[in-house]
Amino acid sequence: MKSIVIYNSQTGFTKKYAEWIAEAAACECVEFKQAAKLNLADYDAIVFGSWCMAGNIVKLAWFKKQMPALAAAGKKLIVYAVGGSPKENPDVAVAMRRVFTDEDRKIVKVFYCPGGFNYEKMNGASKLMMKMFTKVLASKKDATEDEKKMAEMISHSYDISDKKYADAIAAELK
């Protein structure tokens, strides 16, 4: 199966997963910015990976637009979303359900991969949004234990990425 991984990454976690998948599946991976140059008709399987922002997946609209035609042409389609939340966080399943309808899931397989936060590599706009978000969480008087844990977690950089999540995606490309 000829596969390709297209990834969009700001601070490196989605890129790291793309490289892990490409290595395990012996296929190429390319940055989203280069995707316009690709002829997707050349591939049997197309994997799109990007990071989560406020419950959405950045640049997913680009891939979603192409999914029906690619599926009709018999392509295998996979999306992986990388976020700062651990996979067990119930918000992850809720967001993924909202972003991908049952109809979408007939043509695309969806994975969530825990990434982390890297404040050193984050751009100014993202840093500002995170500052506002942490402030709101910290000032919440009726915060749940999960919210308190999350507020502590995202107050600094951390890495919870794990190659096992990439291997599960690569297994789909055999």
The footprint of ligand FMN (CB under 6 A) covers 9-14, 51-55, 82-85, 115-117, 122, 126, 129-130
Closest by CA to 21, choosing from 113, 88, 106, 87, is: 113
Q: What is the DSSP letter of 156?
A: S
* CB nearer to ligand FMN: pick between 41 and 125: 125
Query: Quick one: CA torsion of 149, 154, 160, 161, rounded to 10 degrees?
Result: 140
Closest residue to ligand FMN, Cβ-based? 83
Closer residue to ligand FMN in complex, CB, 75/161: 161
Closest CA to 11 of 135, 117, 128, 159: 117
Quote the least distance from Cβ 69 to ligand FMN, whole Å.
27
Residue 20 vs 117, nearer CB to ligand FMN: 117
Measured between alpha carbons, how far is 16 from 34 in angstroms, rounded to an integer?
17
Q: Whole-number minimum distance, CB 26 to ligand FMN, in Å?
A: 23
Q: Which is nearer to ligand FMN, 55 or 68 (CB)?
A: 55
Report how far Cα 46 is from the mean position of its chain's Cα atoms.
Answer: 14
